[in-house]
Amino acid sequence: MCGVVGIAGKAPVNQMLFDALTMLQHRGQDAAGIVTCHEGRLFLRKDNGMVRDVFHTRHMRALLGNYGIGHVRYPTAGSSSSAEAQPFYVNSPYGITLAHNGNLVNAKDIHEDLFKTDLRHMNTDSDSEVLLNVFAHELQKSGKLEPCAEDIFHAVSRVHDRCKGAYGVVAMITGHGVVGFRDPNGIRPLIYGSRETEEGTEYIIASESVAITALGFKIERDVAPGEAIFIDSQGQLFTQQCAKNPSYRPCIFEYVYFARPDAIIDGISVYKSRLRMGETLAAKILREWGENHDIDVVIPIPDTSRTSALELANILGVKFREGFMKNRYIGRTFIMPGQQQRKKSVRQKLNPVELEFKGKNVLLVDDSIVRGTTCNEIIQMARDSGAKQVFFASAAPEVMYPNVYGIDMPAKFELIASGRSVEEVREIIGADRLIFQDLEDLKDAVRTKKVPHLTEFDCSVFDGIYVTGNIDEIYLEDLEKLRNDMAKKGKDPYIDVNIDAASVDLTGIREE
């Protein structure tokens, strides 16, 4: 999962891009990058690390120009090399830079085709670089010195034809403008906004609405599945549907975990969705555990589950308490490579308030249970703090299948609920009781009458149904070999030649 942003401004955009990436930092903490355009030249800074660590004053001063794109990344393939940091760049045609959130499921086939048929070389096996080269190759076919909006939209339509999977993309065509487009199923989010200035209208495209509103822009709307948006060098906005049969199937895990609670995705409030998740989960507890559920206090696992846990406590009529204090300088354990690293970081990240546990039957609420490692540690922390009984509730259903659309849930054997009953999972994590959200209840929690056209979602991690329709066991086995924890401990499977992107001066791009 990554975060992308593109800005077409009337004044320097370096600070705005930095601020937008800071608002999207929760979507990736492995690497960050910004590229801007000024007088036909590109200025790039990217490296491993958090936004605040990658960009210093000297870097910001060197990022010249009124147009630019940015990216924050976490490694879906376990790579931590700066060669994988985005944006990526190709010099032909025009000089194109691109940042991508998602994952292509046919990247391997396209990679080979790009080399043998299109004669394009790529420095990594990143699917983002594959996507960039497909877009560049299709745009080059126009043969024009000055591409128009129609040429760009045709190139995007060919990307949709060739690339299968999930993608929210921002790209910059040197001297011509900023492009944004979204996969035909709308699996990964993308939204745009505008702001009026004395010099004219400025535009922003981003993964989440929080990056738009925090910068003082007005939300226009979400980019529709399959749609492309282009802001040219004169500041004119063009949009067009570029997919033949688009459908709305956004990733439901955005609402469960990834997106910030104050985000609006496809017209749906993430905050309200999580409130409703608490409502439906409380209703299931009352059905299955009865009104005499023996819960003394509801405690959320910070931060994502707090909204659901609060509403659940209100409905059950029990106390809601903050029982864990979070160290905000430790990264999200879900996206940390390696079980041992995740396990070690849990006790560094969370510290219990013992008086909220001592002698009580505690219901811990989390947004989901993926590998189960952190659950086991947190439950033991509750017992060590004096809890009489520890119950556990997941605001999401059992995660039982690998994700292929950009979430690091690759190896089926790593998923604690895969092939196990609820009772077996309960025993492994050490809870006295365990309950999961029902999938239909989760869908109902996200659906809203205000967005009647959005009724279905990508729920592949819960039901094993892949909306792109081209996933088989061979693909999943190959993916598992590349992306399981053992692969993360060894050599990076995606990079044979490690070129430090922070020290390379690419043609046409000056790196400061």
Q: Is 57 annotated as a binding residue?
A: no
The tokens describing 409, both together, are 């849930």
Find all residues with CB under 8 Å of 148, minimum gap 6, and list them: none
pLDDT of residue 122: 79
Fold of 268-325+345-487: Rossmann fold (3.40.50)
pLDDT of residue 507: 33
On the CB side of 187, CA atoms within 13 Å amount to 25
Q: Is 500 annotated as a binding residue?
A: no
> In CATH terms, is domain 1-246 a member of 3.60.20.10?
yes
Whether 182 and 223 have beta carbons less than 8 Å apart is answered as yes
Residue boundaries of the structural domains of the chain: 1-246, 268-325+345-487
Counting Cβ atoms within 10 Å, is residue 503 exposed (0-12), middle (13-18) or buried (19+)?
Answer: exposed
Among this protein's residues, is 148 annotated catalytic?
Answer: no
pLDDT of residue 263: 98
Q: Is 367 annotated as a binding residue?
A: yes
Whether 411 and 487 have beta carbons less than 8 Å apart is answered as no
Whether 29 and 74 have beta carbons less than 8 Å apart is answered as yes
Going residue by residue through the chain (512 aa), what tens digit of pLDDT does each one get? 899 999 999 999 999 999 999 999 999 999 999 999 999 999 999 999 999 999 999 999 999 999 999 999 986 544 555 678 999 999 999 999 999 999 999 998 898 888 878 788 878 778 999 999 999 999 999 999 999 999 999 999 999 999 999 999 999 999 999 999 999 999 999 999 999 999 999 999 999 999 999 999 999 999 999 999 999 999 999 999 999 999 999 999 999 999 999 999 999 999 999 999 999 999 999 999 999 999 999 999 998 999 999 999 999 999 999 999 988 776 554 444 455 555 556 778 899 999 999 999 999 999 999 999 889 999 999 999 999 999 999 999 999 999 999 887 768 888 999 999 999 999 999 999 999 999 999 999 999 999 999 999 999 999 999 999 889 888 888 877 776 544 555 443 333 322 233 333 333 343 44
Whether 9 and 315 have beta carbons less than 8 Å apart is answered as no
By C-alpha distance, which of 125, 224, 228, 130 is closest to 170?
228
Please identify which of the residues 2, 242, 375, 459 carries the catalytic annotation: 2
Please report which helix (H) or strand (E) contains residue 365, including its range.
strand 361-366
